[in-house]
Structure 1
Amino acid sequence: MAPYRIVVLPGDGVGPEVIAEGLKAIRAAMEGVSLEAQFIELEIGAARYRRTGAAFGQEDIEKVRQADAVFFGAVGLPDVRLPDGREVQSGYIYRQDLDLYANIRPVKLYKGVESPLKKAEERGIDYVIFRENTEGLYTFGKGGFRIGKEAAVNPLIISRKGTERIVRAAFQMARRRRGAPEDGVKRVTCVDKSNVVEAYAFFEEVFREVAGEFPDIQSEHYYTDAMTVLMVQRSWHFDVVVTENMFGDILSDLGAGTIGSLGLAPSAEVGDHHGLFQSIHGSAPDIAGKGIVNPIAAILSGSMMFDWLGATHRDPKASEVGRRIEEAVETVLAKGRVKTPDLGGKNTTSQMGDAIVEEIKA
């Protein structure tokens, strides 16, 4: 089998720091199973926009299309803005171009990490948020407009096709999982505001139709405001959560807070043929260059990338790379000897990466 072609997009802020540790872990795990990959680094982001007037190179899009996967850092700097006032973003180009409709965000409390929730360590937190990634309120720069200096409008788009495929992917994931920590029940929870917004009522309607295809999986529905309370009071009840784009963005950050840190929250943005993998945290320019950012979210995103490559290409070696990385992360966290500041420790970004590599090689 030819080496995998993986495009690497470090981006802005802490992006290059966490990507460096992610690649370090990936290479160590690949070496252990004799798997080969070609890593192609491209420049993307606000720093590039400030220098050249473009956040990405048009010639790079074809390289991304031809890649087996994309390993993404972070994009955006608060002092670099587009003429309409928005921060520079470029990930949306790839989401739309590659049709990465499923943004998969695990929310998992690892042993050795303290949760702010009193009962979490006893009961466990382990669920996955499926965020629809190509429509909803986020149209990624397309469709919105201003009415002079008096108003601005953005459309909320919910399509049958977009909703069916993200809901179906969520139910398929539930079939592969062990069920919720609370009771072992395999369930999919739909979250929206169908009580007040017509588009969300349509989202729920399509959800219930698709749920009928999966009689072996329990389905349920909550309004978004109620869900924010339940994620704090009963996180252990959830198994797979499916929701619209903006709500998925917000709820996954809340979920990360319940498991100890945004620095522990990876993500996979996948479609039928392409995949992009990144931490859910942003570029964090306030701590960039200080060597204190937690690289675990990026390292776990690398694990998800190889798990996806293994499943997509039916390649057990790639799947083994993903497994080795996650197990090493679990071991380091459980031992509790190495902790970055967000976890209550004083270790550096590279020290955390080194500890994980050491476990991979053990």
Structure 2
Amino acid sequence: ELTGVSIVTYQHIKVPSQGEKITVNKAVLEVPDRPIIPFIEGDGIGIDITPVMKNVVDAAVEKSYAGKRKIEWMEIYAGEKATKVYGKDNWLPDETLEAIKEYQVAIKGPLTTPVGGGIRSLNVALRQQLDLYVCLRPVRYFTGVPSPVKTPEKVNMVIFRENSEDIYAGIEWPAGSPEAVKLINFLQNEMGVKKIRFPETAGIGIKPVSKEGTSRLVRRAIQYAIDNDRDSVTLVHKGNIMKFT
């Protein structure tokens, strides 16, 4: 049974003295009046935009609930700041992942791409480690905002994009690398592939698409449509070209 009390001891993460965890009951988030929300400040402009984000969210919560509810922010670390706190090359500490799992909801600033191997992309690593398979993108019109669309007031959709499979699996090698050359040779010599137009200068990526991954994405979109009284669900694909993936 999940409770509002932290069950993990952290090395560098300071848990707020007040507030409770967001918990999950039958796939539904249960949010207390003072939820603890982990945040990653981020690299680059993160130091500027993350404090502003917190101020805006705090102001919105204050206005909406008249002081009855309040977020307790808890900083966790990834990116360059993590290497300063945890040591060189520790771009994504284990306890950051554990904190996100324990507190269910987190928000992050922009993260740099580590140089020198190990993690190719911190964003991809977060998605894969936490199995964040849905990229949910609401698209709607706000009155008064200029738009090139003829009837922007009719635009109101929510896009569910695969976030862990397909090209987002991050399985790729740069052009000219030993791995790319080896894979191209295998495809041409062992698999009979003749469609690589410029093999000498081609980077190579592999896009795994599973039945299970596809089913859970579609299932989540359909459930969202049911829960939010949406009229339809549209599957967007390129099946005439990519017949198997």
- TM superposition score category, shorter chain reference: 0.5 to 0.7
Q: Scaled by the length of structure 2, what TM-score is found?
A: 0.64
* Compared CA separation, residues 120 and 81, structure 1 to 2 (3 A): farther
Q: Name the aligned partner's letter for residue 219 of structure 2.
A: R
CA contact (8 A) 1:135 1:157 kept: yes
The C-alpha deviation readout for 1:314-346, integer Å capped at 9, x for no partner, is xxxxxxxxxxxxxxxxxxxxxxxxxxxxxxxxx
TM-score, structure 1 as length reference: 0.45
Task: Please point out which of 40, 48, 52 is paired with 1:9.
Answer: 40
Give 1:135 shift.
Answer: 0.8
2:238 pairs with 190, 193, 196, which one? Answer: 193
1:1-362 aligned at under 5 Å gives the runs 2=20, 3-31=34-62, 32-45=66-79, 52-76=88-112, 81-83=115-117, 89-117=121-149, 119-121=150-152, 123-140=153-170, 142=171, 145-147=179-181, 150=200, 151-177=202-228, 179=230, 186-200=231-245
Question: How far does residue 158 in structure 1 lie from its aligned partner after superposition?
Answer: 0.9
Given residue 120 of structure 1, which amino acid in structure 2 is its aligned partner?
T
The higher-RCO structure (CA 8 Å, 6+ apart) is 1
Q: State the partner residue of 1:277.
A: none
Secondary structure at 1:163 match in 2: helix
Check conservation: 1:6, 1:69, Cα contact below 8 A: yes
> What value does the CA root-mean-square deviation take over the aligned residues?
3.0
Aligned to 1:197, the other structure's residue is in SS state coil
Cα distance in 1 for partners of 2:126, 2:35 equals 19
Aligned partners of 1:44, 1:163: CA distance in 2, in Å? 29
Distance in 2, Cα, partners of 1:116 & 1:12: 33
| Distance in 2 between residues matched to 1:163 and 1:16, nearest whole Å | 37
Alpha-carbon distance in 2 for matches of 1:47, 1:26: 23
Extract unaligned runs of 5+ from structure 1. Answer: 180-185, 201-362
Greater fraction of residues in helix: 1
How much has 1:112 moved relative to structure 2?
Answer: 1.4
Q: Give the structure 2 partner of residue 264 of structure 1.
A: none
Task: Say whether the 8 Å CA contact 1:156–1:199 is kept in structure 2.
Answer: no
Name the CA distance, whole Å, in 1 between partners of 2:244 and 2:219: 19
Kindly report structure 1 stretches of 4+ aligned residues shifted beyond 6 Å: none
Aligned residues of 1:4 and 1:68 also touching (Cα < 8 A):
no
CA distance in 2, matches of 1:4, 1:22: 17
CA contact (8 A) 1:146 1:152 kept: yes
Gapped runs of 5+ residues in structure 2? Answer: 5-19, 21-33, 174-178, 183-198
Instruction: Name the amino acid aligned to 2:89.
Output: G
**1:258 aligned residue:** none
Q: Give the paired residue count.
A: 187
Percent identity, aligned pairs only, is: 27
CA contact (8 A) 1:5 1:68 kept: no
Preserved contact between residue 124 and residue 168 of structure 2 (Cα < 8 Å): no
- SS state at 1:60 partner: helix
| Distance in 1 of aligned mates of 2:82 and 2:181 | 30
Amino acid at match of 1:187: S
- For 1:178 and 1:14, how far apart are their aligned partners in 2? 38
Residues 107 and 190 from structure 1, CA distance in 2 versus in 1: closer, same or farther, beyond 3 angstroms? same
SS at match of 1:137: helix
Q: 1:46/1:191 Cα in 2 relative to 1: closer, same or farther (>3 Å)?
A: farther
**Matched-pair contact (CA < 8 Å) for 1:157–1:199:** no
1:143 Cα deviation after fit: 6.6
